Amino acid sequence: MNPHNQRFFVAPRTLIRLTLMFCCLFLLYSSLLPGETSASVATRTDVSEAQIPLIDELALKKHTTSQFTLSHTSILGICLLLAFQTLAILFLIITFRKKQTQKDSLQLSDEQFQYMVESSPIGICIVSDRRFSFVNQKFANMFGYNNPAEITGHPIEELYAPDEHDRMLHYAKNRSVGKPAPDNYEVKGLQKDGTIFDIIAKTTLFQHNGDPSSLSFVIDQTEEKLSQIQRAQADRLEAIGTLAGGIAHDFNNILTAIVGYANLASFKLDDNHEVNTDLDLIKTAGFRAKELIDQILTFSLKQKEQLHPVSLGPIINEVLKMQSASLPQSIDICTHIDTKDRIQGNPTQLHQLLMNLCTNAVYAMKHTGGKLTITLTEVQTSATNFQTETLLSPPSFLQLSVTDTGTGIAKEIKTKIYEPFFTTKSVGVGTGVGLAQVHGIVASHHAHIRMEDNKPQGTIFKIFFPLR
């Protein structure tokens, strides 16, 4: 309570005490004034009728000269009346001030509550007759609206995914007639731009302006769902790493046998025998497979790979030579290598990167045929159209492009293609780790990857390796 209000409440109490003291003084005063005795009264009753005119004359004289005197009883009555009036006024003032203070306190509480609701990090809404009668700012922002007024008054189905309409209307109808409906539930919301996202709601029933209504607290589950997916992917990758580390040694033994028998076969043939070329490819593939196993072991042990100067031209030729052995005749291969610049890289990882991109390109053209094009050229930083991660960016990049004329990639899955285990291929054909590996290799080489549509059809993957 502020000092002003405190002084106001002290003053009425003081006035009450003064009024009571005033009444007591007048009572004491009236008791001390001389009154008429019984003798004087008796004498006055014995006055003869002749004296009455004289008394009337004196009374009339006093009246005409304004010398009329009030009795003690009249004075006391007036004082008591004034005292009671003062007490009544003070009582009304005190009552009014108490009600005003309560009203101010309620108004302050309402303002504080309104501030808490509007600044809440949780979306809050009130639904009456299956329409939003109130939403706070967080709720509006969650659904892509700037102003809560854009939602107020609208039917609830406007903010839910189409396949959720029946379920949410069923819940709302049950609540309006007092039937059971879930208090906690997950539902897919519909943002202003058409984006569908996951939300979780806690709903309770109450009376709003005399109507049965529901109060809901809503939380956006998008980040939580994404975190769950990422944790699940991390667990699966860790499990794969553990499994890979366990089978790597056995696989190395198999590769040793393959490469060993290829060497024995080449010893039995003349140097100019035509089969030697095929045996050399077998041995090269075996050595690449061994290096790949070493990469898997490194991954399972979480060791960091060392980068050193590498020329991409020979790796491109080697990959295409291996691809041509299983390439359909309906697919042509074209290469454009315009530079011999080296990058800092790991040959085995770069070989794996190019193999994955080429394998995906061939798969996209397996039914329609087409052309697989690989280009290697130097581009300036200003021509890359992306922001580099450091202020001391290299002046130029080595651009590796893998282009196909296949079916292309659908718009709705473009943001998912680098996710581990995401694949559009049937079971047994694809594992969903190819492009995830590509993305990881690109990151480990401090490079950038970009996917574009190849007009009129097909896809282009561009990788920009920094030249230092």
Could you give the CA distance from residue 196 to residue 15 in angstroms, rounded to a whole number? Answer: 70
Q: How buried is 397 (Cβ within 10 angstroms: 0-12 exposed, 13-18 middle, 19+ buried)?
A: buried
pLDDT digits (tens, 9 = 90+) for 307-336: 889 999 999 998 888 888 778 889 999 999
Q: What is the DSSP string of 290-324?
A: HHHHHHHHHHHTTPPPPPEEEEHHHHHHHHHHHHH
Average pLDDT over residues 37-66: 44
Q: Residue type at 149?
A: A
Task: For the beta carbon of residue 252, count every other beta carbon within 10 angstroms.
Answer: 15
- Cβ atoms of residues 453 and 460 within 8 Å: yes
Name the band, by pLDDT with cuts 50, 70 and 90, for residue 300. Answer: low
Average pLDDT over residues 46-66: 45
Could you give the CA distance from residue 403 to residue 362 in angstroms, rounded to a whole number? Answer: 10
Q: Residue type at 165?
A: H
Task: For the beta carbon of residue 225, count every other beta carbon within 10 angstroms.
Answer: 13
This prediction has a pTM of 0.45
Could you give the CA distance from residue 176 to residue 194 in angstroms, rounded to a whole number? Answer: 28
pLDDT digits (tens, 9 = 90+) for 169-200: 888 788 777 788 888 889 999 999 999 999 99
**Residues with Cβ < 8 Å from 156, sequence gap 6 or more?**
127, 130, 131, 132, 168, 169, 172
Selected residue with higher pLDDT from 84 and 368 = 368
Q: What is the DSSP string of 4-24?
A: HHHHHHHHHHHHHHHHHHHHH
- Cβ atoms of residues 352 and 437 within 8 Å: yes
Q: Which pLDDT value is given to residue 218?
A: 92
Q: Which pLDDT value is given to residue 15?
A: 54
pLDDT digits (tens, 9 = 90+) for 9-34: 445 555 555 555 655 555 555 554 44
> Which pairs count as long-range contacts for 143-152, CB under 8 Å and 24+ apart, including other chains?
143/189, 143/190, 143/191, 143/192, 144/191, 144/192, 144/193, 144/195, 145/192, 151/125
Can you say whether the dihedral through the CA atoms of 225, 226, 232, 235 is positive or negative?
negative
Selected residue with higher pLDDT from 67 and 300 = 300
Q: What mean pLDDT is reported for the chain?
A: 76
Query: Which range has the worst mean pLDDT, 365-369, 383-387, 422-426?
Result: 383-387
Name the band, by pLDDT with cuts 50, 70 and 90, for residue 37. Answer: very low
Beta bridge partners of 462: 401, 450
Query: Which range has the worst mean pLDDT, 14-18, 243-247, 260-264, 447-451?
Result: 14-18
Task: Calculate the alpha carbon distances from 317 to 311, 312, 399 in Å.
Answer: 11, 9, 16
Name the band, by pLDDT with cuts 50, 70 and 90, for residue 298. Answer: low
Residue 235 has pLDDT above 50, yes or no: yes
Average pLDDT over residues 377-395: 62
Q: Which pLDDT value is given to residue 115?
A: 67
Tokens of 86: 């003062």
Q: Which pLDDT value is given to residue 463?
A: 94
